[in-house]
């Protein structure tokens, strides 16, 4: 008789597990509470699906996971970028690596990724059952009983939980009887709201390399920074939101930030600025833009530093120069609230990694029960890392099921 396998959640992780768990000896059923599969894959990466990050070395890859990190070494050692990429390409999906190392389908459409996953699941004879919501999981002497909405229940030999990130701890209530340690979920990958930002009019302007830091801490990240009509966005902000997701949650998303617009040290900026201004003493400071900063930003910083733009460089006092340097390397702003990033958004938290054997994603205390994808306490920074963990965890769980 075939072993009955239930996979709950038809997202990236659930689909990929189902495909890899299917074999001659297994009957795989994939349950989804909504009426559509792979909904997040469809909207991901602005509709283009950034399905991987070009990072062939597991030791490097682990550095992109604020939750997970080193504990993912073993998992990524078995199945990571190269293996995922080869799998998709072997299924006929043409991929491209963009300048910032993010990997997308060549078609620029998430539909191509969905097509590949759906075709592979159909070939593996995975049975997809929509509008079936898991409400409770019961541990039997042999296997598990799944209780669905509407008083339906069924027994299975093995179960894979792939329900994705839960907004609240309550989302894990269906596991209550199992006494698992759950790390309370909080949002990650968000942008900063600065309601009183004096730079709102510069919305849309980006700087290629800035440093954003939280004063009085060693929390800082660097990279491109984007000025938005609500505050700040861009990779530097998103990375900081991911690494400090829990800290910012505790601070109720109210904290000061300092922006170094040049990502250079104060000494370097002082030297280069003085040399630049002294080399053209008769010019007005408004027309003496330095460091390739956009003119609009340069003038806004002069305004913040209370330096009249029509002053000649030779007339700038030492105090004025010091104030300008201060704004170039430490412009202060007050964050008050967050906005979730349209292109990517994840939950930090989930089933504690101590509960999971990360070589198979099987729960240590519950044989033949697996948890994969965003349900577990792993999340990456933006750029394809979250799907990478979905593919990795799903492949390992699927393989453990077929090898059993
Ligand atoms: C707008 C957006 C864009 C993103 N873009 C990217 C990107 O470009 N690159 C990247 O790496 N990451 C991206 N992410 C993150 C990525 O989408 C997720 O990390 C990934 O989808 C997680 O996969 P998953 O299968 O674990 O969970 P999900 O994709 O969330 O799938 C879980 C599934 O389980 C179902 N489910 C939940 N509860 C139940 C239940 N009780 N019973 C039955 N079914 C249930 C859900 O309906 C859902 O279909 C993005 C996220 C968002 C929100």
Collapsed DSSP state (helix, strand, coil) of residue 148: strand
Q: Which atom of ligand 1 is nearest to the CA of 135?
A: 41
Identify which of 164, 373, 377 to mutate to test ligand 1's pocket (most ligand atoms within 8 A of the CB).
164
Neighbours of 254 (CB within 10 A): 11
Instruction: Name which residue sits closest to atom 10 of ligand 1, judged by CA.
Output: 384
Tell me which of 41, 152, 156, 387 to substitute to probe ligand 1's pocket, judged by most ligand atoms within 8 Å of the beta carbon: 387
Of ligand 1's listed atoms, the one at least distance from the Cα of 342 is 1
pLDDT of residue 404: 76
pLDDT of residue 342: 75
Q: Rounded to whole angstroms, how far apart are CA atoms 6 and 8?
A: 6
- The dihedral built from the CA positions of residue 371, 374, 379 and 384, taken in this order, carries a sign that is positive
**For residue 156, what are the contacts with CB-CB under 8 A and spacing of at least 6?**
4, 5, 6, 29, 143, 144, 145, 146
Q: Estimate to the nearest angstrom the gap between the alpha carbon of 36 and the chain centroid.
A: 23
Compute, in angstroms, the gap from residue 55 CA to the centroid of ligand 1. 22
Q: CA-CA distances (angstroms) from residue 215 to 139, 212, 240? A: 49, 10, 13
Largest CA distance in the chain: 90
Contacts of 72 (CB under 8 A, 6+ apart): 58, 61, 62, 65, 358, 378, 389, 392
Centroid of ligand 1 to alpha carbon of 10 (angstroms): 9
Residues 354, 359, 363, 367, CA torsion sign: negative
Query: 390: Cβ below 6 Å to ligand 1?
Result: yes
pLDDT at 344: 81
Q: Is the CB of 162 under 6 A from ligand 1?
A: yes
CA distance 353 to 83: 23
Ligand 1 center–CA 40 separation, angstroms: 5
Return the ligand 1 atom nearest residue 164 CA. 27
Pairing type for strands 3-8 and 26-31 reads parallel
Q: How far is the CA of 103 from the centre of ligand 1 (A)?
A: 18
Q: Are 50 and 387 in contact (CB under 8 A)?
A: yes
- Check if 14 has its Cβ closer than 6 Å to any atom of ligand 1: yes
Q: Give pLDDT tens digits along the chain (404 positions).
A: 899 999 999 999 999 999 999 999 999 999 999 999 999 999 999 999 999 999 999 999 999 999 999 999 999 999 999 999 999 999 999 999 999 999 999 999 999 999 999 999 999 999 999 999 999 999 999 999 999 999 999 999 999 999 999 999 999 999 999 999 999 999 999 999 999 999 999 999 999 999 999 999 999 999 999 999 999 999 999 999 999 999 999 999 999 999 999 999 999 999 999 999 999 999 999 999 989 899 999 999 999 999 999 999 999 999 999 999 999 999 999 999 999 877 788 999 999 999 999 999 999 999 999 999 999 999 999 899 999 999 999 999 999 999 97
For residue 386, the ligand 1 atom closest to its alpha carbon is: 11
Pocket lining: 379 vs ligand 1, CB cutoff 6 Å: no
Going along the chain from its start, the domains and CATH numbers come out as: 3-187+344-403 (3.50.50.60), 190-340 (no CATH)
Q: Tell me, in angstroms, the distance from the centre of ligand 1 to residue 22's CA.
A: 21
pTM score: 0.95
Distance 165 CA to ligand 1 centre (A): 7
């Amino acid at each position: 008789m075939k072993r009955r396998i239930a996979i709950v959640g038809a997202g990236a992780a659930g689909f990929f597990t189902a495909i890899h768990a299917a074999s001659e000896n297994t009957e795989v059923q994939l349950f989804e509470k909504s009426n559509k599969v792979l909904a997040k894959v469809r909207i991901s990466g602005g509709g283009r699906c950034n399905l991987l990050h070009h990072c062939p070395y597991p030791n490097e890859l682990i550095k992109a996971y604020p939750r997970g990190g080193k504990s993912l070494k073993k998992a990524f050692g078995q199945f990571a970028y190269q293996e995922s990429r080869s799998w998709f390409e072997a299924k006929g999906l043409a991929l491209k690596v963009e300048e910032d190392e993010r990997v997308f389908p060549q078609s620029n459409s998430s539909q191509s990724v969905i097509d590949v996953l759906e075709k592979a699941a159909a070939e593996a004879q995975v049975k997809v059952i929509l509008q079936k919501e898991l409400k409770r999981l019961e541990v039997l002497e042999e296997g598990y009983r799944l209780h669905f909405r509407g008083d339906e229940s069924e027994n299975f030999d093995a179960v894979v939980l792939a329900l994705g990130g839960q907004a609240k701890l309550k989302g894990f209530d269906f596991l209550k009887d199992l006494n698992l340690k759950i790390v309370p979920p909080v949002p990650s990958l968000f942008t900063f709201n600065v309601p009183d930002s004096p730079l709102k009019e510069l919305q849309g302007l980006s700087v290629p390399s800035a440093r954003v830091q939280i004063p009085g801490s060693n929390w800082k990240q660097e990279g491109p920074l984007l000025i938005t009509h609500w505050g700040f966005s861009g990779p530097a902000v998103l990375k900081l939101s991911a690494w400090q997701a829990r800290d910012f949650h505790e601070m109720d998303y109210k904290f000061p930030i300092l922006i170094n617009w040049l990502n250079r040290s104060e000494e370097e900026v002082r030297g280069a600025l003085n040399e630049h201004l002294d080399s053209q003493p008769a010019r007005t400071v408004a027309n003496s833009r330095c460091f390739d900063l956009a003119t609009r930003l340069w003038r806004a910083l002069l305004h913040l530093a209370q330096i009249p733009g029509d002053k000649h460089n030779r007339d700038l006092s030492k105090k004025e120069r010091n104030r300008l340097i201060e704004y170039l390397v430490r412009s202060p702003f007050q964050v008050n609230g967050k906005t979730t990033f349209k292109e990517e958004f994840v939950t930090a938290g989930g089933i504690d990694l101590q509960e999971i054997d990360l070589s198979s994603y099987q729960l240590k205390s519950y044989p033949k029960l697996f948890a994969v994808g965003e349900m577990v306490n792993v999340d990456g920074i933006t750029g394809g890392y979250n799907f990478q963990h979905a593919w990795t965890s799903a492949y390992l769980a699927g393989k453990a099921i077929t090898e059993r």
